Amino acid sequence: MAINVDTVYKTVLLILNQQQRGYMTPDEFNKVGTQVQLNIFEKYEDDLNQQYRMPQNDTEYANRIKNIEENLSFFQRTGATAYVGPHFTLTPNDIYRLGSVFYNGTELTQYAQRNELTQLLLSPLTQPTTSFPIYLYENNLLYVYPTSIINSVTISYLKKPADVEWKYSVGSLGQFVYNAGTSINFELSVSEQTNVITRILAYAGVIINDPTIIQVAQQEIQLEEQNSKQ
């Protein structure tokens, strides 16, 4: 379940207003919320790599590798490709990182870099075949060898989080009235709601030029990051 954008925005405003610190406009919130979501999303891969090198707790809810993988699962997708010669274009327009490449449903395990491609293609021992294809991925284009392969290529990938949008109409008193139908929620797990609010408050402190909010929010963020790495 995603994090409700209205809940987060109203919580941020409540905290700011209780302390009489200032105000965050919907446009400011949308931009900050989008950046915060992207920061958290990009950190998952680094956290996962780190956790792979550490002993894990096997209890049902405290296994950190499992929890990070579950958070990433919100963004895992499969997609099609279109051959336009000599390469395939990736038809999804929200690709953040390519995962695996498949030909006729079988994963291509041989990834080639540009500097080794010529040698692989010319050597009789490493020359690709339709049974053992290779691929090159650069500049969002996919090259599959042998070049006789022109269809049946699919991909798995991580999608980029959609931009956060707290949409509204203007009421009779000039107030902002939340529009749930056109708004876009955070795509992160609900377990990240506190983290999202804290990080938005840190940005809010910059926007309203309040060092106290920045300091408190940063302390909470640092504490959370320390706990997640222990």
Task: Determine the pLDDT at residue 216.
Answer: 66
What's the whole-model pTM score?
A: 0.81
Question: What is the predicted pLDDT for the residue at 82?
Answer: 95
Which residues of the chain are under the pLDDT cut of 50? none
Return d(Cα 52, Cα 165) in angstroms, integer. Answer: 34
Nearest residue to 31 via CA among 224, 165, 130, 141:
165
Q: What is the pLDDT of residue 124?
A: 87
Is the Cβ–Cβ distance between 33 and 26 less than 8 Å? Answer: no
